[in-house]
């Protein structure tokens, strides 16, 4: 056929070529694309400004602080469990001297015996001349007995009520608080002995005796702080009550109970007394009860401030480990 011959022959006949490979064509096309085109397109950020975060409110911020939360819970337990506190205080008072002949009269007799013993020790053994020595000693020994007995009773208040803790759910911080309050009531009865002593030494009566409750309030806060702390630690380490017994004995002689701070002039031990809170507490008691002068208000304010800080830390420690009491006991 003439058509086929024209395709096969002739000098200007078109050369046959195979169809292009689509893969190679794609590679060639990709290689020839400019770099600006191949650059990946980044997402354009939202031009709208983000809504500012709402600042935390004061109450919400306080709740997030575990320390403040636990301290607040402990203070609430002490404030709202008044009936339970009253019941435990009554139980402690009835248990004290319950099996004795004279019963609660020992609250009046004990301070007199202590005063007589230390009076003989100071005036006869040490041959130290003190004007109206019984009143001088009694004004400091009575508050110290309140502190030492309350602290020892409160330290063992949790471990002594293990059965009650395992059976009932209640804030255990009430236990050392009840022991401290019971000791305070006992101290109040001991003040009757101090009043009887003024019948022998009426010249020491003065208007500054009205400051006695203020000094007692400072001592109460300090005692309560140590009572809560040691009762919590003694639950896990029973050595605390044994060590505390000896520490209180040393603490007594390191406090101006049977001597005055002025007796240590020129001695380096006065600097040790300066670190002892009971130096200012006992001196204030003696100022109003024996010397008839004002207490050291500045020193009492410092002791009260430190006692409040210690009380806050003690409540936090107690509430932090309170959940493990039932397991240990």
Q: What are the residues whose beta carbons fall under 8 Å from the beta carbon of 259, sequence distance 6 or more?
A: 122
Judged on CB neighbours under 10 Å (0-12, 13-18, 19+), 209 is middle
* Other residues' Cβ atoms within 10 Å of the Cβ of residue 143: 26
**pLDDT over 50 at 52, yes or no:** yes
Question: Residue 18 has what DSSP assignment?
Answer: P
pTM listed for this prediction: 0.78
Q: Which residue has the higher pLDDT, 30 or 193?
A: 193
Q: What is the pLDDT of residue 209?
A: 93
Do 205 and 290 form a contact (C-beta atoms < 8 A)? no
What pLDDT is stored for residue 13 in this prediction?
47
Confidence band for 3, pLDDT divided at 50, 70 and 90: very low
Instruction: From 83, 139, 96, 79, select the one nearest 283 (Cα to Cα).
Output: 139
Token couple for 136: 């001088």
Average pLDDT over residues 159-170: 85
Taking only the tens place, the pLDDT of each residue in 10-37 is: 444 445 555 555 555 555 554 444 444 4
What are the b/e assignments for 231-253, b being 16+ CB within 10 Å? bbbbbeeeebbeebeeeeeebbe
Would you state the pLDDT for residue 303? Answer: 97
Tokens of 153: 């009773």
Q: What is the pLDDT of residue 54?
A: 55
Across 9-13, 128-132, 259-263, 303-307, the highest mean pLDDT is recorded for 303-307
**pLDDT at site 104:** 67
Least confident of 105-114, 139-148, 234-243, 311-320: 105-114
Q: What is the mean pLDDT of residues 102-112?
A: 76
């Amino acid at each position: 056929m003439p058509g086929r011959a024209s395709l096969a022959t002739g000098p200007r006949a078109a050369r046959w070529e195979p169809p292009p490979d689509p893969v190679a064509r794609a590679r060639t096309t990709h290689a020839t694309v400019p770099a600006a085109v191949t650059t990946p397109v980044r997402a354009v950020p939202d031009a709208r400004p983000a809504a500012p975060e709402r600042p935390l409110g004061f109450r919400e911020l306080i709740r997030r602080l575990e320390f403040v939360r636990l301290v607040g819970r402990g203070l609430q337990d002490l404030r709202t469990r008044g009936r339970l506190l009253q019941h435990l205080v009554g139980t402690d008072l009835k248990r004290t001297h319950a099996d004795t002949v004279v019963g609660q009269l020992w609250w009046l007799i004990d301070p007199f015996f202590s005063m007589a013993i230390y009076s003989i020790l100071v005036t006869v053994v040490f041959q130290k001349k003190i004007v109206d020595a019984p009143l001088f000693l009694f004004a400091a020994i009575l508050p110290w007995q309140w502190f030492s007995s309350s602290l020892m009773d409160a330290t063992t208040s949790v471990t002594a009520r293990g059965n009650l803790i395992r059976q009932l759910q209640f804030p255990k911080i009430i236990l050392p608080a009840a022991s401290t309050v019971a000791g305070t009531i006992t101290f109040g009865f001991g003040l009757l002995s101090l009043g009887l002593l003024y019948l022998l030494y009426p010249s020491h009566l003065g208007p500054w005796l009205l400051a006695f409750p203020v000094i007692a309030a400072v001592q109460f806060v300090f005692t309560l702080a140590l009572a809560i702390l040691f009762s919590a630690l003694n639950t896990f380490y029973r050595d605390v009550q044994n060590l505390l017994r000896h520490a209180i004995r040393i603490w007594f002689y390191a406090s101006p109970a049977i001597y005055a701070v002025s007796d240590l002039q020129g001695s380096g031990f006065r600097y040790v007394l300066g670190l002892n809170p009971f130096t200012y507490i006992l001196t204030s008691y003696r100022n109003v009860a024996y010397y008839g002068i004002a207490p050291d208000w500045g020193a009492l304010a410092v002791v009260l401030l430190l006692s409040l800080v210690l009380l806050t830390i003690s409540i936090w420690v107690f509430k932090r480990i309170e959940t493990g009491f039932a397991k240990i006991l």
